Amino acid sequence: MDESTQSSESQRRIVSTSAYSAKPEILPGHPAFALCTSIPKLRHHEDYRSRRGDWQCRPDHRGSPCGAWQAHGSHPHAQGESAYYGLRSPGYVCKSLIRSAQQQPHDPVDELTYLAVDYSNVGATAKALETANVDTVICAFGMESDAISEAQVNLIRAADMSGSTKRFVVSGAADSNSRHIPMVPTAKWALAASHAVEESSLEYTRVVNGLFLDYYGLPHWRSHLKPWVNAVNVEGKWAVLPGDRASKVNFITSQDMARFVARLMDLSEWSPVSFIAGQTASFKDILRLAEEARDLRNGRISFPEFEETGLESTGRSTEYIFALFHYISGTGGYTISRDGTLDAQFPDIKITTAAEVIESSWRNP
């Protein structure tokens, strides 16, 4: 790599990593966007090819339901180029997305270069980032264990040691308030990451959004998220609404989130937290849309016992997960203020509504 390539601001490398080992893919002479994931096996090469045409990112199909980089969408600055990332090998953890407005369309998968690192070795990870001339790290771990939290903290320290790395996007949209740690384990992990970046010299941000609308369109809505049952089970045709049913929640599709994340890379300065408001609605609104789309006469559908939520891997009972979700929803925990959001900074990004997701998914699935 020549000096002009290393020094040019237009050729910044943006890398993202996964939770066990790392593999940034760098295409010399062009910006590289990489994402982190904690996924155990490598998908077949053809799976990458089948998803060309979208800018897609997801940390983990098992990841947090409402806030750890689970997204895909069109990159606004690329001319039809994209790379799907879904590394699933314990020997590798990172994949970069390549973008070039000047190049002719091609299959970026054929031009990716991988660098393997061990996150437990902070020094070696720092050297790998610096050798690859990585400017920005986007950490997209599915925050679900102390081990993954520790991997992110190590990655922050490595990025801080790297001479080329200046910016870091922290994974985890959970509330980092210490008083919530006994109830919400992810709060502990968010707090650990916040402390690590605050002590570093890195410019950083943490992306916080509401709940993903994808869950109300699955399995018909195109998404890489694992189904997660919460207040309204559109597929199962039942609902248990939190609080007074009128509590407001912010919703966004994973595709729209990715569009905001892509635009976030263009900002010259970041806030410590980057909020995405999306659409504000109540679960009563979601239920009404589901009833109409599924042609249900009555939304009050009972079920004999708690269904699986998709989060049983956390070790908590299904009843606990439902109770916690209802508590957070009913107390405004999924509501995002519209002051200073990415929505306001990028008003040209059209938000996909709950009606669009549910109608397109269930009217004619």
| CATH number, domain with residue 314 | 3.90.25
Residue of 64, 280, 279, 275 whose CA lies nearest to 190 = 64
| In-domain check, residue 273 | no
Tell me what pLDDT residue 241 has: 79
Domain shared by 163 and 243, yes or no: no
pLDDT in tens, 198-212: 999 999 999 988 889
Rounded-to-integer distance, Cα 231 and Cα 196, Å:
34
Q: Average pLDDT in the 89-101 region?
A: 35
The pLDDT, as a whole number, for residue 175 is: 55
CA distance 197 to 160: 9
In this prediction, residues 69-87 reach a mean pLDDT of 27
Residues 31 and 81 in one domain: yes
Residue 14: the pLDDT is 54
Does residue 145 lie within any of the structural domains?
Answer: yes
How does pLDDT run across 149-164, given as a tens digit for each residue? 899 999 999 999 999 9
Same domain, 81 and 183: yes
CA distance 299 to 61: 29
Task: Among 180, 209, 238, give the residue marking a domain's end.
Answer: 209
Domain-terminating residue out of 156, 177, 209: 209
Q: Are 329 and 231 in contact (CB under 8 A)?
A: yes
- How confident is the model over 187-197, as a mean pLDDT? 88
Q: Are residues 223 and 354 in the same domain?
A: yes
Q: Phi and psi (nearest 5°) for 227?
A: -55, 135
Which of the given ranges, 35-49, 170-184, 255-269, has the highest pLDDT on average?
255-269
Is position 196 within any domain? Answer: yes
Say which residue, 333 or 288, is predicted with more confidence.
Answer: 288
**Assigned domain for 265 exists:** no
Q: Read off φ and ψ for residue 318, nearest 5 degrees.
A: -60, -40
Q: How confident is the model at residue 99 (pLDDT cuts 50, 70, 90)?
A: very low
Q: Is 97 among the domain residues?
A: yes
Q: How many other C-beta atoms are found inside a 10 Å radius of the C-beta of residue 80? A: 11
Instruction: Give the whole-angstrom CA distance, residue 155 versus residue 173.
Output: 18
Q: What's the domain range around 111?
A: 10-209
In the chain, the percentage of residues whose pLDDT exceeds 70 is 53
Mean pLDDT (the chain) is 67
215 versus 230: the higher-pLDDT residue is: 215
Residues 106 and 203 in one domain: yes
Whether residue 178 has pLDDT greater than 60: no
Identify whether residues 350 and 217 lie together within a single domain.
Answer: yes
Lowest mean pLDDT among 6-10, 104-108, 186-190: 6-10
As a whole number, mean pLDDT of residues 278-287 equals: 90
User: Do 220 and 194 fall into the same domain?
Assistant: no
Q: Examine the domain organization and report whether 83 and 164 are in the same domain.
A: yes
Query: What's the domain count of the chain?
Result: 2
Residue range 105-149, pLDDT digits in tens: 555 555 556 667 788 899 999 998 888 888 888 887 877 788 888
pLDDT of 187: 77
Q: Which of 51-60, 123-132, 229-238, 346-355 has the lowest mean pLDDT?
A: 51-60
Same domain, 295 and 230: yes
* Domain C-terminal end among 209, 244, 262: 209
Please check the confidence at residue 179 and state whether its pLDDT lies above 70: no
Does 300 reside within a domain?
yes
pLDDT value, residue 227: 79
> Is residue 260 in a domain?
no
Q: Higher-confidence residue: 168 or 319?
A: 168
Among 55-64, 105-114, 127-136, 351-360, which is the least confidently predicted range?
55-64
Q: Are residues 143 and 27 in the same domain?
A: yes
Are residue 219 and residue 184 in the same domain, yes or no? no
Q: Is residue 148 part of a domain?
A: yes
Strand order in 248-252's β-sheet? 211-212, 248-252, 279-282
Q: Are both 205 and 183 inside the same structural domain?
A: yes
